[in-house]
Amino acid sequence: MRGVRQIYPFTRPPELDTDKRTRVPVIIVGAGPIGMAMGLDLDLQGIPNIILDDDNKVSIGSRAICWAKRALEVVDRLGCGERMLDKGVTWNLGKVFFGDRKDPVYGFNMLEEEEQQFPGFINLQQYYAEEYLIDEIDKRELTSIRWENEVTAVSQGDEGATLSVSTPEGKYQIDCDYVVAADGARSPLRKMLGFDFGGETFQDHFLIADIKMKAEFPAERWFWFDPPFNRGQSALLHKQPDDVWRLDFQLGWDIDREEELKSEKVSERIHAMLGDDFEFDFEWVSIYTFQCRRMDRFVHDRIIFTGDAAHLVSPFGARGANSGLQDVDNLGWKLALILQGKAPARLLESYNDERIAAAKENILNSTRATDFITPKSEVSRIFRDATLELADEFEFARRFVNSGRLSIPTILDDSTLNTEDHDSFDSKLVPGSPAIDAPVKINGKESWFLKSIGNNFTGVYFARQGANAPEGAAQLEHDDIPVNTLVVSDMDVAGSGLLLDHKGLLKQRLDGQPGTYYLFRPDQHVVARWREFDSQAVRDAVARATMQAH
């Protein structure tokens, strides 16, 4: 097996050589994709933070490979999106096969609308994503990673939290205002604090074999129900960069784990699937079972849980790391406003509520997919097979086929942070939706809409004429929580920071009739919109979105 990657050296922390206690605004526990993204987001918000990790290397094996569009958009805001896109294998199409049929019974496209910077999905080994995040962290002033720094105890009070940390050269304590737990599915922090993690474990095993081979299969997600090479079970084929292919075989519950992991046995399965006449190398082999669980609450005063530490889903649907990155997106700006004294601590309740709603949605989708893939009863299996047989011929049946409902962003339409629409809009977006991308030109250069918004509250105004912002918009830039207004025009007129909607797609996607004003949260979600600009209405919406008393 390959996959030996760089070791990140332990550096002696200054706390070991002084009695003075360090205090930082935020300590993040866990340098996985979620913890590192959190560090970068807080750095962008101007909040100093330290990431502690008990290990000294990136993920072993490819692990998470499917990065969804919204997750890529989040990571792009943090500075790593394009690198992931360049290295990753882009795919939008999925195909579903059933039994002995050679042709797929069903296919789907993950990208509903073209002309966006990021595709429906890319596949990229988790270790590449982590390495890119580490490189980006190295460039930043306000975030850093301490490798081989293991948290052994945590306590909290009214003023903050204290962590006890063990290193190869000694122990120290460190204080902070908030702890972000991003320490994964087995979260030591969650266990130390004795928090619940309710849900279910599915009685099934899956074998992942990532292999290196030269193959001509297209960059699509292929899923088999009951194929000849794995009778009564399912299988998956997926392309990764560097000629690595993800093969996933369902094994059932009653298996001999050691036997199944033997390379002869795995090779036998691979040859049965792909034919005898080819060569390959193993990159990573693993057997896993899966679980759907979540904590009752993600926010426990000064300690906030994110990613797998807070919620766990089956891999079918790619809703793990992708939803964890949406946690980060949701939390960063809220923590920053609280730490800057611009919003009350109860704003964290909205993180709790919004991301629990998302976790419920992800767990529901993941559980349903699992029930379809591994029916729990004979009659459930008969219905499943009947659905697949009908799917060949009948479009309606294809809608029932569930090989994993792939990650799409959660729409926070129930959030109390939103300001309800009073005008009507002919757009897929509603208050609570993440923004949709579109090509724009800025100062004559091709760019993307999503690159223009985020990190702060941003107003987007569809100009009536010329490139003028509405009267009163400029004053909003000087508020305690500032709102910068971008002007969108489909006419190429001179104006600094003007977004030229040269293809008219932004107008179309947002129903941007002249005079329309959208307000986006720092995480690029729509929070309010109007047909007429009114600076007081914008201020009220910002106050509502940041839980100011009013």
> Which residues contribute to the site for other proteins (CB under 8 A)?
365, 368, 371-372, 375, 377-380, 383, 387, 389, 393-396, 398-400, 402, 405
Find the shortest distance in angstroms from Cβ 354 to other proteins: 22
DSSP E strands: which ranges in 85-232?
89-91, 93-98, 106-109, 121-123, 143-146, 150-156, 161-167, 170-181, 198-201, 205-212, 221-225
Closer Cβ to other proteins, 264 or 395, answer by number:
395
* Residue 376 C-beta: closest distance to other proteins, Å: 8
Element (H, E) at 245: strand 244-252
Q: Which two three-digit tokens encode residue 112?
A: 């509903």
When the beta carbons of 18 and 109 are compared against other proteins, the nearer one is 109
Nearer to other proteins, 389 or 479 (CB): 389
Torsions phi, psi of 175, nearest 5?
-105, 155
Tell me how far, at minimum, the Cβ of 106 lies from other proteins, in Å: 12
Q: Report, in Å, the least distance between residue 400 CB and other proteins.
A: 5
Beta carbon of residue 483, minimum distance to other proteins (angstroms, whole number): 37
- Determine phi and psi for 82, rounding to 5 degrees: -70, -35
Handedness of CA 451, 454, 460, 466 (dihedral sign): negative
The alpha carbon of 344 is separated from its chain's Cα centroid by a whole number of angstroms, namely 26
DSSP assignment of 21-79, as one string?
PPEEEEEEE--SHHHHHHHHHHHHTT--EEEE-SSSS--SS----EEEHHHHHHHHHHT
Burial of 459: CB neighbours in 10 Å, binned 0-12, 13-18, 19+: buried
293-296 long-range contacts (CB < 8 A, ≥24 apart) are 293/197, 293/198, 293/199, 293/200, 293/363, 294/197, 294/198, 294/199, 294/356, 294/359, 294/360, 294/363, 295/190, 295/195, 295/196, 295/197, 296/195, 296/196, 296/198
Closest separation between CB of residue 390 and other proteins, Å? 8
Inter-residue contact 458 to 451 (CB < 8 Å): no
Distance CA 327, CA 320 (A): 11
- Give the count of alpha carbons within 13 A of 471, CB side only: 0
Of 341 and 396, which has the nearer Cβ to other proteins? 396
CB of residue 292 to other proteins, shortest distance in Å: 14
Retrieve residue 543's tokens.
């106050």
Which C-beta is closer to other proteins: that of 401 or that of 473? 401
DSSP 446-488: EEEHHHHSBSBEEEEEE-SSTTPPPTTHHHHTTSSS-EEEEEE
CA distances from 207 to 286, 430, 479 (A): 6, 41, 55
> Is the Cβ of residue 10 or residue 108 nearer to other proteins in the bound state?
108
Nearer to other proteins, 276 or 395 (CB): 395
- Nearer to other proteins among residue 105 and residue 453 (C-beta): 105
Three-state secondary structure call for residue 331: helix
Closer Cβ to other proteins, 188 or 404, answer by number: 404
* Cα–Cα separations (whole angstroms), residue 165 to 15, 25, 142, 518: 10, 17, 20, 45
The nearer residue to other proteins, 23 or 368, going by C-beta atoms, is 368
Between 396 and 471, CB nearer to other proteins: 396
Minimum CB–partner distance for residue 104 and other proteins (Å): 17
Compute the least distance from the CB of residue 380 to other proteins, in Å: 5
Which pair of tokens denotes residue 412? 């926070």
Q: Which is nearer to other proteins, 114 or 395 (CB)?
A: 395
Is the Cβ–Cβ distance between 333 and 455 less than 8 Å? yes
Q: Which is nearer to other proteins, 175 or 389 (CB)?
A: 389
Nearest approach, Cβ of 459 to other proteins (angstroms)? 35
The full 3-state SS of 89-116, as one line of letters, equals EEECEEEEEECCCCCCCEEEECCCCCCC
Kindly state the smallest distance separating residue 327's Cβ from other proteins, in Å: 24
Q: CB 357 → other proteins: shortest distance, Å? A: 16
Q: Measured between alpha carbons, how far is 25 from 336 in angstroms, rounded to an integer?
A: 9
End-to-end CA distance of the chain: 61
Maximum CA extent, the chain? 74
Q: Quick one: which of 384, 375, 91 has its CA closest to 237?
A: 91
Q: Looking at beta carbons only, is 349 or 385 nearer to other proteins?
A: 385
Least Å distance, CB 369 to other proteins, is 8
